[in-house]
Structure 1
Amino acid sequence: MHALNLQPKNLSLVERLADLAVDALIDEADLSPKPALVDRRGNGAHTDLHLGLMHASALSLWPAFKEMAEAAIEFGEVGLPLREAVGRIGREGEQAMLDTTGGVNTHRGAIWALGLLVTAVALEPQSCRAHSVALRAARLALLDDRFAPRPLSHGAQVAQRYGARGAREEAQLGFRAVTQRALPQLQRSRAAGHGEQNARLDALLAIMTNLADTCVLYRAGEEGLNTMQRGAKAVLDAGGSASLGGRRRLHELDQQLIALNASPGGAADLLAACLFIDRIESGDGLIQGVF
């Protein structure tokens, strides 16, 4: 059951946006079979994660997403005050996540991505096309938070070592992996009648074909990244997740990435961002009536 289904129907905009962000995280976690990622089958390439922990982590972030949306409404424009408020709330949300998971990093990258997108929607809820939301999020991401701690995350260290774009740069460039790859593939697979779960898997694979996933680079280096990108392309070239050939390739990719201890967590975070934007853009009634 989705988090939003546990809430009364007469929710405010900020509550609905927080619901949608949490829903996107839960939908991403539940999606199966994802290559080397936690899903309904098991833990993928992870030893410290499981599906229940992913759900608990997602739910722990609801207050942070709500506060980010409230900050957007309070400040009313992209600027340093809003950027620093979102940064502070994000760090508080990360601590709540770590308290919930016993110190395990389940959703640090997703807090960054979805936090920016929630804020961007709350700033201009009447302008919810994917590219418009992504552009507002990018403008916010380009601002420097003076209060952000400076120690480099694993992703930032890897980005420097390999010259790859980390989560920060992906946001600053307008979430191109989402707007140019994941969302178009999601829509193509739906239009082809592949079913919602297969369409979402195909969207994840579309991200993986091109993303320099710093989670994979950290765990398995360039070999892992090349395996991920080639394998994801092979699944789509074989007909995608809805085809027998695509499923065979997907199983092969899953086994290869697990053997390399390579889990595409960056791609998973961007899939959650894709699912959030898709729900916002589709006008399916979840946020109607509050604008």
Structure 2
Amino acid sequence: MKAQSLTLPNDAEAWADNLSTLAVSSLIEEARLSPKPGLVDSRGPGAHQDLSLALMERSARSLRPTFYRLALHSWQRPPDMALRQEIGRLGRQGEQHMMNATGGVNTHRGAIWALGLLASASAMLGGRGTVAAIAAHAARLAVLPDPSQPKIFSKGQRATQRYQVPGAREEAIGGFPHVTLRALPQLRRSRLAGAGESEARLDALMAIMATLTDTCVLNRGGMAALTAMHHGAAAVLTAGGTGCPAGRAALAALELRMLADNASPGGAADLLAATFFLDWASARPSTSSRGCYGTN
């Protein structure tokens, strides 16, 4: 999968391959994680009628060439307009490839944006950046305009305008704060408190859902559904997290509410996959003896 007209060091292709593998693995691990309220997981389609775990995994694997090209074209380049336009072009090609693989179902459009920026940013740093550095470089790319972007509003963009809330672009421009300041700290805090890996990952999802203005939820259930999601996810963490009986009960209650609202937090799912990607790019803390844990 060599990119034409690029002169790169020998390790660039190896790093691009590694970053694309991490990105795809992040999407698959997110899809398989269970139980996730309103989302596709190993139990079923959640609030969706047109999605399945098999379709999500097929979609994720179809994006590997896209993430590879994004990383390769970004290798040790500055975050300038030329690169921004290039990753925009590659991202749109990847989106079309994904839609071909899924029969026209939008499975990972938001994830192409988030993980594409992070894979590009990591490559810009030679594959060796810290979480903070990768997020900062992704933000420097996200803030740049893409003149070739189609002038068609997505559902997410329409929701940000209708409800006057930040969306995926603002999250990226801010350096992915729901990943770096909420999900990753919660993931590592839960591990240190003795949570199992699935429980720690679910806690990270709750940390995102507790405050994210998820446009997928807004599109499906409006502001009432978003508020219910915020309160429900915060209740899981306040109850001690998904490793505790009270936390699991709160998670079950949140799932019932989201299914009743026909709401699926797809934006939170994209950011959880981004959390996995950045987590794997940094050292993991050790775990201690098992116990219930909260957000403090």
How does the TM-score come out when normalised to structure 2? 0.90
TM-fit CA distance, 1:131: 1.3
Give the percent of matched residue pairs that are identical in Structure 1 and Structure 2. Answer: 53
Unmatched runs of 5 consecutive residues or more in structure 2 = 1-12, 286-296
- In the other structure, the counterpart of 1:189 is 190
Whole-angstrom distance in 1 between the partners of 2:284 and 2:113? 24
Contact preservation (8 Å) 2:167, 2:214: yes
Write the distance in 1 (CA, Å) between the matches of 2:126 and 2:283.
13
The residue that corresponds to 1:276 in the other structure is 277
Give, in whole Å, the separation in 2 of the partners of 1:275 and 1:126: 16
2:138 counterpart letter in structure 1: A
Q: Secondary structure at the match of 1:282?
A: coil
Question: What amino acid is aligned across from residue 269 of structure 1 in structure 2?
Answer: D
The aligned residue for residue 252 of structure 1 is 253
Q: How many residues align?
A: 273
Matches within 5 A, 1:1-80: 12-73=14-75, 76-80=77-81
Q: Give, in whole Å, the separation in 1 of the partners of 2:128 and 2:163.
A: 36
Residue identity matched to 1:145 = D
The one-character-per-residue Cα deviations of 1:126-145 (angstroms, maximum 9, x if unpaired) are 64211111000000000001
Asked if 1:167 is matched to 2:171, the reply is: no
Distance 1:161 1:126 in 2: 39
1:67-106 pair list within 5 angstroms: 67-73=69-75, 76-106=77-107
The residue correspondences of 1:229-268 to structure 2 (distance < 5 A) are 229-268=230-269
The 2-side partners of 1:126 and 1:59 are apart by 21
2:45·2:51 contact (CA, 8 Å) conserved in 1?
A: yes
Letter matched to residue 270 of structure 1: L
- For 1:247, the aligned partner's letter is R
1:134 aligns with 2:135: yes
CA RMSD of aligned residues (A): 1.2
Deviation sequence 1:203-262 (CA, Å, 0-9, x none): 000000000000000000001100100000000011101001111110110111011010
* Greater Cα offset, 128-137 or 51-60: 128-137
Secondary structure of the structure 2 residue equivalent to 1:84 = helix
The 5 A counterparts of 1:104-143 are 104-125=105-126, 127-143=128-144
Q: Which 5+ residue runs of structure 1 have no aligned equivalent?
A: 1-10, 285-291
Question: What TM-score does the superposition give when structure 1 sets the normalisation length?
Answer: 0.92
Task: Verify: 1:149 aligned to 2:154, yes or no.
Answer: no
Q: Deviations over 1:264-289 (max 9, x none)?
A: 000000000000000012289xxxxx
Cα distance between partner residues in 1 of 2:256 and 2:282: 35
Given the superposition, is the C-alpha separation of residues 42 and 126 from structure 1 closer, same or farther in structure 2, using an over 3 Å criterion?
Answer: closer
Deviates more, 1:275-284 or 1:33-42: 275-284
Output the amino acid matched with 1:272: A
Q: Secondary structure at the match of 1:261?
A: coil
Structure 1 stretches of at least 4 aligned residues deviating more than 4 Å after TM superposition: none
Counterparts of 1:142 and 1:27, CA distance in 2: 29
Match of 2:5 in 1: none
1:217-232 maps to which residues of 2 (within 5 A)? 217-232=218-233
Q: Amino acid of the residue matched to residue 135 of structure 1?
A: A
- Tell me which amino acid in the other structure corresponds to 1:262: A
DSSP 3-state at the match of 1:13: helix
